[in-house]
Amino acid sequence: MRKKVSIVGSGNVGATAAHWIASKELADVVLIDIIEGVPQGKGLDLLEAMPIEKRDSYIIGTNDYADTANSDIVVITAGIPRKPGMSRDDLLNTNYKIMADVVGKVVKNSPNCILIIVSNPLDAMAQAAYKLSGFPRERVIGMAGVLDSARFRTFMADELKVSVENVTAFVLGGHGDTMVPLPRYSTVAGIPITELIAPDRLAQIVQRTRDGGAEIVKYLKTGSAYYAPSSATTEMVEAILKDKKKILPCAAYLDGEYGIKGLYVGVPVKLGAKGIEQIIQIKLTPEEQAALNKSADAVKELCGVIGV
């Protein structure tokens, strides 16, 4: 029996995630939205592409949470998108209300699923979903680090004119202006990036990574990034469904790890069939730890606003 992934929200991120997941034949996909017709239309369009792609994934679009019953993974992308001039914090209260509604319906229909949260502001929404669902922390994961690392890798590969496959990148912390890219843990074919890129140029690349989402919003004017965020989500889905034990940077609920307690913060985790199977702790310099603490404080502030 094929695995089942439900995606809440059939906007650009949700629909594109459905596309990646179905095209990789990872699972059958349910696309759900409150808008009538949109998930049905996108779902049917994607289903009709499967014979061409030679994939047997089955996709449906729906407005009824009953169709999501017994999902293995539920990806939540629902929420209002970020607009130019709008900070992630501006999204907070509106998207919290949406999250509360969605999580209640998801838990009722798929009590054993793993939740992947993509809605912004990411870390605070993951925290909200964790508290609202009552699930153990292993089964509520925020998608941020995979995307931020991909942006970092893109810019480093472009700078050095090497294959993106050669580049590994490390990003910790909250998804936003306070994220903590770690150059000394980032490599090209095993060579530390600090050996290959001058410090001042590397600092510029780190800053561009932090501003990655805003840069795309500025270009699009009426929307935000969706190809890379949905691809990042799909990598997490694949790691879980195939029980790959893959180490990826994700937003996870920390209970003392890295000296942080009771908060969702981006850290390297091992993803497998049970969700987060291990939180990987690495040694940080005092400067890196201070930057991570600052990032955690920013998340804590947001969580305080919505009382989670």
Residue 87 DSSP label: -
Could you give the CA distance from residue 133 to residue 24 in angstroms, rounded to a whole number?
29
- For residues 69-91, one letter each, b for 16 or more C-beta atoms within 10 angstroms of the residue's C-beta and e for the rest, the string is eebbbbbbbbbebbeeeeebeeb
Could you give the CA distance from residue 81 to residue 143 in angstroms, rounded to a whole number?
16
Tokens coding 17: 């995630």
Q: Is 28 left (phi over 0), alpha (psi -120 to 50) or beta?
A: beta
Q: Using CA of residue 251, residue 252, residue 257, residue 263, what is the dihedral sign?
A: positive
Annotated catalytic residue, options 42, 82, 153, 175: 175
Catalytic, 19? Answer: no
C-alpha atoms less than 13 angstroms from C-alpha of 84 in its C-beta half-sphere: 8
Residue numbers annotated as active site: 175
